[in-house]
């Protein structure tokens, strides 16, 4: 069965510090991987996606993620965070034969001044 695990429910970090949000997936077949961000009282915005090709994926707002097949991970990173990055971040996977996104439980990024 396909699953996505986000190991940290909340990550507090100071402004301008680097951050890494962890995501591990499990699947017996190839999957596509995504990171979404949700600001308070809003919908989900696609940050970045891994479909194939280069394992380092760059997204919007200065975020990037690295696909690691041997460790079944897809961690999200940003070298310097801003207060405005405070939000909920969801990692998700999708099999190419399915419409069903499998979400992790989410990580709340809290950026402090």
Partner 1 sequence: DTEVTQTPKHLVMGMTNKKSLKCEQHMGHRAMYWYKQKAKKPPELMFVYSYEKLSINESVPSRFSPECPNSSLLNLHLHALQPEDSALYLCASSQGRLAGGSEQYFGPGTRLTVT
Which residues contribute to the site for partner 1 (CB under 8 A)?
32, 34, 36, 41-46, 49, 51-52, 90, 94, 96-101, 103-106
Give me the least distance between CB of 74 and partner 1, in Å please: 14
Which of residues 15 and 27 has its CB atom nearest to partner 1 in the complex?
A: 27
CB atoms within 10 A of CB 36: 21
Give me the least distance between CB of 72 and partner 1, in Å please: 19
| Terminal C-alpha separation, the chain | 41
Give me the least distance between CB of 33 and partner 1, in Å please: 10
Instruction: Report the DSSP pairing between strands 56-58 and 24-26.
Output: unpaired
CA distance 15 to 3: 32
Which of residues 2 and 15 has its CB atom nearest to partner 1 in the complex?
A: 2
Which of residues 27 and 103 has its CB atom nearest to partner 1 in the complex?
A: 103
Which of residues 3 and 80 has its CB atom nearest to partner 1 in the complex?
A: 3
Residue 41's alpha-carbon distances to 17, 44, 61, 63, 82, in angstroms, are 26, 10, 19, 22, 19
């Amino acid at each position: 069965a396909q699953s996505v695990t986000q190991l940290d429910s909340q990550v507090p970090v100071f402004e301008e510090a680097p951050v890494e949000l962890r995501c591990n997936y499990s699947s017996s077949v190839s999957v596509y991987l995504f990171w979404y961000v949700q600001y308070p009282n809003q919908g989900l915005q696609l940050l970045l996606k891994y479909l194939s090709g280069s394992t380092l994926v760059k997204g919007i707002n200065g975020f990037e993620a690295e696909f690691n097949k041997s460790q079944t991970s897809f961690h999200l990173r940003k070298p310097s965070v801003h207060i405005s990055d405070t939000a909920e971040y969801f990692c998700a996977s999708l099999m190419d034969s399915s419409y069903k996104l499998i979400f992790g439980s989410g990580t709340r990024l809290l950026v402090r001044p």
